Chains A and B, each alone.
Chain A
Amino acid sequence: VVSTTALVLLFLNISLLNGQSPPGKPEIVKCRSPDKETFTCWWKPGTDGGLPTNYSLTYQREGEKTRYECPDYITSGPNSCFFSQKHTTIWKIYIITVNATNRMGSSASDPLYIDVIYIVEPEPPQNLTLEVKQPKDKKPYLLIKWFPPTVIDVRTGWFTMEYEVRLKPTEADEWEVHFAGQQTHFKVFSLYPGHRYLVQTRCKPDHGYWSKWGLESSIEIPSDFPTKDTTVWIFVAVLSAVICLVMVLAVALKGYSMMTCIFPPVPGPKIKGFDAHLLEKGKSEELLSALGCQDFPPTSDCEDLLVDFLEVYDNEDEQLMPPHSKDYPGQGVKPTHLDPDSDSGHGSYDSHSLLSEKCEDPHAYPSTFHIPEVNEKPENPEENIPCIPDPQSISKEGNGPYFPTDESKSSTWPLPQPGQHIFRSPYHSIADVCKLAGDPAGALASLLDKAEKDILKSSKTFETGGEGKVDEQKEMEDAHSETKQDASWPLLREKAPLIHGKPPDYVAVHKVNQDGVLSLYPKQNENGHQPEKSRAPEGNKEYAKVSGVMESNILVLVPHAQATNMALCEEPAKKAPPSLEQNQSEKDRASLTAASSNCRGPLGVLDYLDPTGFVHSFH
């Protein structure tokens, strides 16, 4: 052994000195089958040891013991072995070994175990063709066509191939890859006109490796290549139209409720004393007078719409206000048929309108006189419109003591409504009075009754001073009942203003005539303060309480402490003098003292008129 080793070492030394050595171990690089019928193996030689080296490939198949040598070293190039169909068996393991041999020795590679079916890698597809197609009435596209590699047998189904296509504009960096399945054509729709495109394909067996990308083909996309996708826009347009239609339908069907929900109806302004009828007729004078505006432009007094003055006249010249309903249909007044007992919501609405219609001038009250309950006889417009006194007498200045009505809810006075500012004052509305005037005998009793009822009603709801009112009412009633009792109250008896249930109606004593009859105005908005001003629920009422009846049948009125009001401070004062002027001779009649201020101050002090100022004959 020692000698053998020595010899080998000597031999190696000699070889090394010569630069010769056995070949290095070759290595099998890969084996590939392009068609599942043949395959090729390539190896990488090791060092050749400085000597010419032969390489041989041997293989053995599964289940066989025979070792074979490579049948073809040439077809696939150097360092390769090509296995033809004859030598290819699939679903069997091949054990392949490459031997390198030179003069010095040989070396063998590691055996490679392969099964042909797992090493399938086809060639790229062939005959790639590109064509831009622009069919009529259809979208244009690029048609890419190719063929499978020549050796592949797809027809019999032995080989199942899948393809991939990629394309890009010449200047782009990234490829756009599309999987084409088992088909050999592909259509591309989204292309930029005027660009040059590069296209490539590759393929893969159903279970195997992808081929390399095939040869590039390029094509120029014509500039008139339409790329707009109109279908999307059509869809969007149709969808928008449908949505709009649905919305329109929804609005149309439920428009009213929607609109009322979004935009609640704003109560329309109502001008107190506004007679649309007159407007139609074109009688501006009457209209203005109905509005109570003696002079135009309206003074500040005219804004006092909430003051209803109940004017009682005893002469037939008094014009009766037309029924409210007739006059102001537009205002939404539903006067005549209002049930005194029904407190519907629109009473306030109506009353507002009523108030607004009426001019601040208390004489405008004719409209306010449209007491629903009173207007059981709508056919008697005269009764309802008795209260348009002649301008002069109607002037606010001429008003005697008056009792401010609850302004806030004077507008509601057509309807007796518990929730509203009830007519707290025991004063009868002018309408009532007018009615009495118009038909003293017949209407009086009914009016009075109604007024009483209303007053009672209103007084019930009105806490403050209710009792006082009731008392007053009772007094009045007593006075009424004793028709013959008080000579000073003939008018009252006859023409006792009916206290309609309208909460806001207050009666202001306009004047006292010789017979001791009080001329009352429904006090709406004294001194022309904001008619629509909303008052404190209970505070806005101005009314004067009758504190007592004097021996000469003169009502002593006292301001109600609780009455709040809009400051109608000056008017009373203004009004007092004219009455004084008018009826100097009858000053002794009035025992009422006009409050100098006549203002309903914030305290709600009611101003009452100086009775002396009222002593003047009516008319």
Chain B
Amino acid sequence: MDSQGSPRKAGALLLLVVWNLLFCQNVHSLPICPSGAANCQVSLRDLFDRVVMLSHYIHSLSSEMFIDFDKRYAQGRGFIAKAINSCHTSSLATPEDKEQAQQIPPEILLKLILSMLYAWNDPLYQLVTEVGGMQEAPDAMLSRAKEIEIQNRRLLEGIEKIVGQVHPGVKENDVFSVWSQLPSLQAADEDSRLFAFYNLLHCLRRDSHKVDNYLKLLKCRIIYDNNC
């Protein structure tokens, strides 16, 4: 019996190997560069596909979070009127329509994107902390906040890689937008606290959309030469 079993096993194994060889040829293994790998060679196209995917995802999450919060906590409070011109990244000279966006050189646009992402590192961290501390916060909000924070870091890495390929040798961006609304987030007054959250989520939604749009513009411009 054993003598019959081992040839069968060998035959099955051989079949499996052949199957893999035949059918797995076309799969491109996308190497994911571990952070810090100097000689990692991911194509620019793949990089852009990846960052666009991330930025799209982040904006979807932010949008859901805002709409959820608005429906749940901000009805009738008139928060939107107060949230005018209150984002901490408004000082950044980001393009505000298509012409402006197309006129900006890609590298500057990339830098702006990086600046925005850097500016959001801290607020996102605080958001996760404060939402976690909020007793009345729904679980979905907390999970989304955590996810946004994680994905934002990955997006940052991806864009840094793109910058390294598109515009190597660029200096570190000195413009930092400081977010100083933490005390508002931790305010004792519920109205103030809720508005602080509202404002944070509103600005997050907008900035994530900006990043997403800019990246899609850059992708079509750099990779497809304005012929998406």
Contacts and interface: CB of A to CB of B under 8 A. Distances in A.
Interface string A376-415: 0000000000000000000000000000000000000000
Contacts of B129: none
A115 B213 CA distance: 15
Given A91-B209, A115-B206, A253-B4, A157 B220 contact: yes
Given A63-B85, A63-B90, A207-B59, A153 B96 contact: no
User: How extensive is the interface on chain B, given as a class?
Assistant: 20 to 34
A37 interface: yes
Given A63-B90, A115-B206, A207-B60, A158 B84 contact: no
A156 B96 contact: no
Interface string B4-31: 1000000000000000000000000000
Interface string A57-98: 000001100000000000000000000010011111101000
B212 to A, nearest CB: 8
Interface residues of A, number: 27
Interface string A187-207: 000000000000000000011
B72 to A, nearest CB: 18
Contact of B219 (A113, A157, A207): A157
B94 interface: yes
Contact of B98 (A37, A115, A154): A37
B14 to A, nearest CB: 16
Contacts of A113: 80-81
A254 B213 CA distance: 68
B84 A62 contact: yes
A91 B60 contact: no
A170 B80 CA distance: 48
Contacts of B4: 253-254
B226 A89 contact: no
B44 interface: no
Interface in B47-87: 56, 59-60, 63, 80-81, 83-85
A413 to B, nearest CB: 38
A113 B90 CA distance: 18
A525 B73 CA distance: 105
Contacts, number: 72
B76 to A, nearest CB: 13
Contacts of A85: 97-99
A469 interface: no
Nearest to A206: B56
Contacts of B220: 155-157
B63 A158 contact: no
B209 A158 contact: no
Nearest to A115: B206
Nearest to B102: A156
Given A62-B85, A253-B4, A156 B56 contact: no
Contact of A158 (B56, B59, B90, B213): B213
Contacts of B80: 93, 113
B228 interface: yes
A156 B90 contact: no
Contacts of A91: 94, 96, 206, 209-210
Given A63-B85, A156-B217, A160-B216, A36 B209 contact: no
Contacts of A207: 59-60, 63, 209, 212
Contacts of B224: 157
A514 B49 CA distance: 120
Interface string A114-149: 010100000000000000000000000000000000
Given A113-B81, A207-B209, A157 B221 contact: yes
B180 interface: no
Interface in B92-149: 94, 96-99, 101-102
Nearest to A35: B98
Question: Most chain-A CB neighbours within 10 Å: which of B60, B81, B97, B220?
Answer: B97
B227 interface: yes
B206 A156 contact: no
Contact of A92 (B96, B212, B219, B221): B96
A93 B84 contact: yes
Interface in A399-443: none
A155 B56 contact: no
A207 B206 CA distance: 12
Nearest to A37: B98
Contacts of A111: 81
A158 B98 contact: yes
A272 to B, nearest CB: 40
Contacts of B218: 157
A162 to B, nearest CB: 11
A157 B228 contact: yes
A254 to B, nearest CB: 8
Interface in A25-52: 36-37
Contacts of B217: 156-158
A523 B120 CA distance: 110
Interface string A495-510: 0000000000000000
15 contacts: A62-B85, A88-B97, A89-B97, A92-B96, A93-B83, A93-B84, A153-B98, A155-B220, A156-B98, A156-B217, A156-B221, A158-B217, A207-B59, A207-B60, A207-B209
Given A91-B210, A160-B216, A254-B4, 19 more contacts: A36-B98, A63-B85, A63-B90, A91-B206, A93-B84, A95-B84, A115-B206, A155-B227, A155-B228, A156-B98, A156-B220, A156-B228, A157-B217, A157-B218, A157-B220, A158-B98, A158-B213, A206-B56, A206-B212
Closest 3 CB pairs of A and B: A157-B220, A157-B217, A157-B216
